[in-house]
Amino acid sequence: MRTAAIKTQSPVQELFFMIAPPRHIASDVAVLKDDVHYLIGHDFEDRFSKAHISLFKYTGEHIEDMIEFVEEKAASFEAFNVFLKDFNVFHNGSKRTIYMDIVNKYPIREVFENLVKEDRDFTPHITIAKNLSAEDFLKCWPYLKELNYSNQHFPCDRITVLVRNGKKWMHYKDICFGK
């Protein structure tokens, strides 16, 4: 396990706990984000963020305690496969978020609930385009909904932790599952 030495201005740090897909899936997501950019004709929120499945963020002074907590929990997690299929949409008022759908949400929900708490609104996904206006959504959704993205899966055996360094997120460490 590698740990990056990140210097920050204050004792308060922000960590981001996620599941990171392998390069070939991250590359597919980057191409899809480029397609959305082409279809709507301008940048959009999180266009350049790397593919990931969000678990939670932590902001505070006790990051080592939080890391230790997650490591203890992760020691009891079993590795599983994440199966991806097609695309779906979140509706948030007048905004739309297009995401890559996960077929087997239960194992990811179980990881999330062991780390955070039960949350019926937690839907594991990989974001393609976040908070699009209705007009932009209508420009790209007909294209994306017709794409057949299936038979893609990857093993999940770790949680990736990023730390905020200014405006960027940097790799901090990977926490491997114990089983």
Report domain extents, the chain.
Answer: 13-176
Question: What average pLDDT is seen over the chain?
Answer: 92
**The model's pTM:** 0.90
Span 47-62, average pLDDT: 94
> What SS3 class is residue 165?
strand
Q: Which neighbouring-strand residues pair with 95?
A: 92
Span 67-88, average pLDDT: 96
Is the domain defined by 13-176 classed in CATH 3.90.1140.10?
yes
> What SS3 class is residue 6?
coil
